[in-house]
Amino acid sequence: MARILITSALPYINGIKHLGNLVGSQLPADLYARYCRARGHEVMFICATDEHGTPAELAAAKTGEPVADYCARMHGVQTELAHGFRLSFDHYGRSSSPQNHRLTQHFAGRLRAAGLIAEVAEKQVYSPSDGRFLPDRYIEGTCPACGYERARGDQCENCTKQLDPTDLIDPRSAISGATDLEVRETKHLYLRQSAMRDQLDQWIDSQKGWPVLTTSIAKKWLHDGDGLRDRGITRDLDWGIPVKDGENDWPGMEGKVFYVWFDAPIEYIAATAEWAEAQGLDDAAWRRWWRTDEGAGDVRYVQFMGKDNVPFHTLSFPATLMGSGEPWKLVDYIKSFNYLNYNGGQFSTSQGRGVFMDQALEILPSDYWRWWLLSHAPENSDSEFTWENFQASVNKDLADVLGNFVSRVTKFCRSKFGEAVPEGGAWGERETALASALAKRIAAYDAQMAAMEIRKSAAELRAIWVLGNEYLQEAAPWSTFKTDPDTAAMQIRLALNLIRLYAALARPFLPDAAWSMMAALECEDWTWPEDVEAALKLLPAGHAFTVPEVLFAKITDDAREDWAARFAGARP
């Protein structure tokens, strides 16, 4: 038994996430967490809402709520949706928690003591009308290069030229349209990542087997141009974690807060502390996951995230942890994902394009989405959601191959033997061969799951379901029954046990369906089938069961067309 720490990239507070966000971090992290638990490992699975930053303030302003209230409300909404998708977090925290305030300020203090913080005076655009400094991309104006009138202060979307906000002609606030912008001097803290470049570089080099996507992005940042640049870790905002040096004030930094990307990863740690508090445990309970000098030496730490998050997890956050000079647990493996596209374009939160988590659950139960999303996870390249593909995959894999197997076995047994596991007969060669084929496939499934090869795991699991249908076809208990009822009883006894085995194996992908299967069998034994023969004899003769409702209803053409039309344009 190992101890596995799993974190999923934090969803931003600013609205409901779409399926692309879900499959890029939380869902595969949940799959892995569930798998690790099923294999008997001790798991700490952490996620949280990422609540600070300009977009959160603006979203709150739009609804007229105080930002703290807005975040509390949206945290509730996201928590509900996480439950809806059966995301099995040990704790779903908030980056605005007191724990995160303390830890973030602690790290800043340690970094300052280590000489890794620089104070930099810089000029930034301020909008008196908005009462705030404007991040570059919140300034719009005419592109000096191509004349595009809605160029952003960081880059012109039309001609892709990199811009400085002061380059823009007729600049205005993208928030209010105000044109009375001025340049003000302000002081900010920078994390001196450049001083840690070699250390980070060596650390990345020492990691074996990370996805190309992960290491190539890290290497690019480390070696591009002059190498890794220092990074501003404070902002002039109201909502956030006040800049402090540990518990002490930071002269000259009054009224400023830490940058979200500084405090968000620290929330992984803080959320574990939140968990401990919620469980009524002491600090040692969470520190044994995070401090190698306090018990985390044998922890394996795995992070899940979309590719846009990679630089912060490979560089900034490790720099924060290493730079503190304290023995914090560093990540051991980073599983990163590409993007899921929607009907040939991108899912888009701002444009409301695609299917969002709340809408998905209104349409179908979570298992349908979990299965499709995970079996098509964008691991090697961007992948594509289409309604046709979704319908075909779900109907074939879930309804026909798995669901129908459960149906045919339980209904056949009920009609010939009644609703209890039938007695009689003994295994022959066919059953031994099946057990050995299953053992082989299960080993492959286990290996793919352990390696976090998501799509390959799904394919192996499906192949295991197919073995059951093949067995039934060959054994043909419906004809055996006419001449040799005892053998038919043995065959169907095995098939009923196969349902339990499938439930145990499928639980990480399909928690609800697995539960329904177990409930129908009136069984609570989720034991992983390490010994397949034993697993296929687990339910004894005479054990009662019930025929379950149809596990997965098929998606009709009408429903598919209806949804395709409904989600074709912007979110209503």
Site for RNA in 92-151 (CB under 7 A): 122, 124, 135-138
Answer for which of 94, 192, 231, 244 binds RNA (CB under 7 A) is: 231
Answer for which of 113, 129, 167, 232 binds RNA (CB under 7 A) is: 232
Residue partners of 141: CB distance under 8 A and separation at least 6: 149, 151, 153, 165, 168, 169, 170, 171, 172
Do the strands 383-385 and 340-342 form a parallel or antiparallel pair, or are they unpaired?
Answer: parallel
Contact predicate 297/305, CB 8 Å: no
Q: Does 415 bind RNA (CB under 7 A)?
A: yes
Q: Minimum Å distance from CB 360 to RNA?
A: 19
Q: Which listed range, 166-174, 296-304, 453-461, 518-526, lies at the site for RNA (CB under 7 A)?
A: 453-461
> 464-483: which residues touch RNA (CB under 7 A)?
466, 469-470, 472-474, 476, 478-479
- Residue 155 DSSP symbol: B
> 482-541: which residues touch RNA (CB under 7 A)?
none
Under rule CB under 7 A, how many of the chain's residues touch RNA?
84
Q: Does 12 bind RNA (CB under 7 A)?
A: yes
Q: Does 318 bind RNA (CB under 7 A)?
A: no
> 64-93: which residues touch RNA (CB under 7 A)?
none
Record the tokens describing residue 497, joined without a space: 């046990």
Q: Which listed range, 200-208, 211-219, 322-330, 500-508, lies at the site for RNA (CB under 7 A)?
A: 211-219
Give the DSSP per-residue string, 312-323.
IIIIIHHHHHHH
Contact predicate 372/395, CB 8 Å: no
Q: Minimum Å distance from CB 2 to RNA?
A: 26
Answer for which of 16, 37, 42, 55 binds RNA (CB under 7 A) is: 55
Tell me the CA distances in angstroms from 50 to 27, 71, 72, 97, one per residue in order: 17, 9, 11, 10
What residue ranges in 192-319 does DSSP mark as E strands?
231-232, 234-235, 244-245, 248-249, 257-258, 299-306
Residue 242 and residue 35: Cα distance in Å, rounded?
Answer: 39
Q: Minimum Å distance from CB 189 to RNA?
A: 12
Answer for which of 15, 24, 28, 53 binds RNA (CB under 7 A) is: 53
Record the tokens describing residue 288, joined without a space: 């044994």
Q: Does 436 bind RNA (CB under 7 A)?
A: no
Q: Does 545 bind RNA (CB under 7 A)?
A: no
Q: Minimum Å distance from CB 77 to RNA?
A: 16
Do the strands 333-337 and 117-127 form a parallel or antiparallel pair, or are they unpaired?
Answer: unpaired
Q: Does 309 bind RNA (CB under 7 A)?
A: yes
Answer for which of 229, 537, 560, 571 binds RNA (CB under 7 A) is: 229
Q: Does 546 bind RNA (CB under 7 A)?
A: no
Contact predicate 502/517, CB 8 Å: yes
Residue 34 and residue 88: Cα distance in Å, rounded?
Answer: 7
Q: Does 167 bind RNA (CB under 7 A)?
A: no
Site mask for RNA (CB under 7 A), range 267-306, x = bound = ----------------------------------------
Amino acid at 553: A
Answer for which of 64, 225, 251, 572 binds RNA (CB under 7 A) is: 225
CA neighbor of 333 nearest in space, from 206, 199, 207, 221: 207
Q: Minimum Å distance from CB 248 to RNA?
A: 25
Q: Minimum Å distance from CB 127 to RNA?
A: 12
Count of other CB atoms within 10 angstroms of residue 561: 12
Tell me the CA distances in angstroms from 353 to 235, 386, 429, 566, one per residue in order: 31, 13, 55, 11
Q: Does 403 bind RNA (CB under 7 A)?
A: yes
Site mask for RNA (CB under 7 A), range 234-273, x = bound = -x-----------------------xxx--x---------
Count of other CB atoms within 10 angstroms of residue 115: 10
Q: Does 459 bind RNA (CB under 7 A)?
A: yes
Q: Minimum Å distance from CB 67 to RNA?
A: 13
Q: Minimum Å distance from CB 333 to RNA?
A: 18
Q: Minimum Å distance from CB 560 to RNA?
A: 13
Q: Which listed range, 109-117, 328-336, 406-414, 536-544, lies at the site for RNA (CB under 7 A)?
A: 406-414
CA neighbor of 511 nearest in space, from 24, 16, 27, 80: 27
Q: Does 560 bind RNA (CB under 7 A)?
A: no
Angle between helical axes of 429-450 and 27-38 (0-180°, round to 10): 130
> 328-387: which residues touch RNA (CB under 7 A)?
339, 346, 376, 378-384
Answer for which of 131, 160, 251, 558 binds RNA (CB under 7 A) is: 160
Q: Does 455 bind RNA (CB under 7 A)?
A: yes
Judged by CB, which is closer to RNA: 28, or 378?
A: 378
Residue 387 and residue 400: Cα distance in Å, rounded?
Answer: 18
Record the tokens describing residue 43, joined without a space: 């798991």
Contact predicate 329/290, CB 8 Å: yes
Contact predicate 281/316, CB 8 Å: no
Answer for which of 162, 202, 206, 483 binds RNA (CB under 7 A) is: 162
Q: Minimum Å distance from CB 98 to RNA?
A: 19
